[in-house]
Amino acid sequence: MGTQGIRPLVAGNWKMNGSRAMAASLVAEIRTLAAAGPASVDLLVCPPFPYIPEVGGGLAGSAIALGGQDCHMAAAGAHTGDVSAAMLADLGCSHVILGHSERRADHGESSLLVAAKAKAAIDAGLTAIVCVGETEAERDAGKAENIVEKQIIESVPAGANSSNLVIAYEPVWAIGTGRTPSVADVAAMHRHIRSLVADRGPVRVLYGGSVKPANAAELMAVAEVNGALVGGASLKAADFMAIAAGAAVSA
């Protein structure tokens, strides 16, 4: 794990996938496997908004946390189609993913908007998982660390600290592509991120981007990697828990 004293977190981002039946079945299987799985890793499930109650009910009484995939910057108001952080908290969520590259690209979200959302999440008592990451062109141009540094400076609000903030580094070119950066590249970026948030306490810094059972242990063993934000592999309970096992081995 690299950073002593930081308990790993493995978070599943279901994205826009599933049905009520699938959500109920998947969460039941995750819960069953987690009961026999590593106790040294925290687990988080982030389903689509409509299935949060379904998944929350399935997780009730377990140690597995529940999260949302986005929230609005306002606490309430005339924002048709949006969901507030307070609503997520009311449904039992403890975390919310913010600034994912798919939202930055598909919805034009700026880092300043992400910071406003993160502040709203923290004000509502949630932990904000702030996502950062460079495109392939930015990495090829040698700008990866500068891009991520700018995103962190602009996306993390004042007052955020290790009790309410998680950083997820997801190189955009690795998300859903099956490609991953080298271990050396991941280590270098996580060291850089750690230096940027050092004054905020022992913040968890997760790696994301085509994390799967086959590469989980190697990636989780990288210095300063404190767990994973898992996309496609979180839709299969066995794969999700295999990744958690990889994080536990490296802890």
Q: Rounded to an integer, what distance in angstroms lies between the CA atom of residue 85 and that of residue 236?
A: 27
Catalytic residue among 170, 190, 192, 224: 170
**Cα 151-42-98 angle, rounded to 5 deg:** 25
Give percent of the chain above pLDDT 90: 91
Which numeric CATH code is attached to 9-250? 3.20.20.70
Helix (H, G, I), strand (E, B) or coil at 168: strand
Find the catalytic residue in 54, 72, 95, 100.
Answer: 100
Q: What is the mean pLDDT of residues 52-79?
A: 98
Mean pLDDT (the chain, rounded): 95
Looking at residue 190, its pLDDT comes to: 98
Band the pLDDT of 107: cuts 50, 70, 90.
Answer: very high
Say yes or no to pLDDT of 56 above 70.
yes
User: pTM of the full predicted structure?
Assistant: 0.96
Q: How confident is the model at residue 131 (pLDDT cuts 50, 70, 90)?
A: very high
Cβ atoms < 10 Å from Cβ of 4: 7
> Rounded distance, CA 42 to CA 157, Å?
24
What are the residue boundaries of the structural domains of the chain, listed by start?
A: 9-250
Dihedral angle sign, alpha carbons of residues 203, 102, 55, 1: negative
pLDDT in tens, 203-227: 999 999 999 999 999 999 998 999 9
Would the pLDDT of 189 be above 60? yes
Partnered with residue 9 across adjacent β-strands are 42, 227
Distance of alpha carbon 214 from the chain centroid? 20
Give the model's confidence band at 57: pLDDT under 50 very low, under 70 low, under 90 confident, else very high.
Answer: very high
95 is an active site residue = no
**pLDDT value of residue 4:** 55
**Percent of residues, the chain, with pLDDT higher than 70:** 98
Residue 124 confidence (pLDDT): 98
Question: φ and ψ at 155, to 5 degrees?
Answer: -95, -20
Mean pLDDT calculated for residue range 57-84 = 98
Q: Which residues pair with 44 in a beta bridge?
A: 11, 65
170 annotated active-site: yes
pLDDT given for residue 171 in this prediction: 96
Q: Which of 78-82, 170-174, 179-183, 244-248 has the lowest mean pLDDT?
A: 179-183
Query: Is the separation of the CB atoms in 190 and 224 below 8 Å?
Result: yes
Looking at residue 71, its pLDDT comes to 98
pLDDT of residue 178: 85
- Give the DSSP H/E element, type plus range, for residue 242: helix 237-250
CA distance readout (Å), 20 to 23, 55, 130: 5, 9, 27
pLDDT higher at 38 or 58 = 58
Q: What is the pLDDT of residues 140-182, one digit of tens each?
A: 999 999 999 999 999 999 999 999 999 999 999 998 888 889 9
Say what the pLDDT of residue 1 is: 41
Binding residue numbers for substrate? 13-15, 176, 210, 231-232
